[in-house]
Structure 1
Amino acid sequence: MTDDLPAGGVVIDSAELTARWARAWQPEQAALRLRGVEAPWCVAAGWALDLFRGARTRPHGDLEIAVPAALFPRIRERFPEYEFDAIGSGRVWTGTAAPAMAATHQTWLRDPGTGDYLLDVFREPHQGDTWICRRDPAIRAPYESVIERTADGIPYLAPEVVLLFKAKSARPKDRADFAGTLPLLGPERRARLSGWLEQVHPGHPWLTELQPG
Structure 2
Amino acid sequence: MSGQLPGGGIELSPAEIEALDARWSSSWTPAEVARRLAGVGAPWCVAAGWALELFRGGQTRAHGDIEIAIPEAGFPEIRDRFPGYVLDAAGSGRIWEDAPPETLAAVHQTWLRDPATGDYLLDVFREPHDGDTWICRRDEEIRLPYREIIHRTEDGIPYLAPELVLLFKAKHARPKDQRDFDTTVPHLTRAQRATLAELLARVHPGHAWLTEL
Question: TM-score range, shorter-chain basis?
Answer: over 0.9
Deviation at 1:35, TM superposition (A): 0.3
Deviation at 1:2, TM superposition (A): 7.6
Is the Cα–Cα contact under 8 Å of residues 130 and 142 in structure 1 kept in the other structure? Answer: yes
Deviation at 1:16, TM superposition (A): 3.0
Matching residue of 1:34: 37
Deviation at 1:84, TM superposition (A): 0.9
Matching residue of 2:142: 139
Determine helix, strand or coil for the equivalent of 1:4: coil
Structure 1 pair 157–170 and aligned structure 2 pair: CA distance change class (3 A) = same
Q: Which amino acid aligns with 1:8?
A: G
Matching residue of 1:65: 68
> Tell me, which stretches of 5 or more residues in structure 1 are unaligned?
none
- Whole-Å separation in 2 of the counterparts to 1:163 and 1:115: 31
Deviation at 1:131, TM superposition (A): 0.5
Deviation at 1:36, TM superposition (A): 0.6
Any runs of at least 4 consecutive aligned residues in structure 1 with deviations exceeding 4 A, and if so which? none
Is the Cα–Cα contact under 8 Å of residues 2 and 88 in structure 1 kept in the other structure? Answer: no
Determine helix, strand or coil for the equivalent of 1:49: helix
CA shift digits 1:53-107 (9 cap, x unpaired): 0000000000000000011000001001211111110111012324422321100
1:25 to 21, 28, 34: 28
Matching residue of 1:202: 205
User: RMSD across aligned C-alpha pairs, in angstroms?
Assistant: 1.3
TM-score (norm 1): 0.95
Is the Cα–Cα contact under 8 Å of residues 2 and 89 in structure 1 kept in the other structure? Answer: no
Is 1:47 matched up with 2:25?
Answer: no
Is the Cα–Cα contact under 8 Å of residues 64 and 119 in structure 1 kept in the other structure? Answer: yes
> Tell me, which stretches of 5 or more residues in structure 2 are unaligned?
none
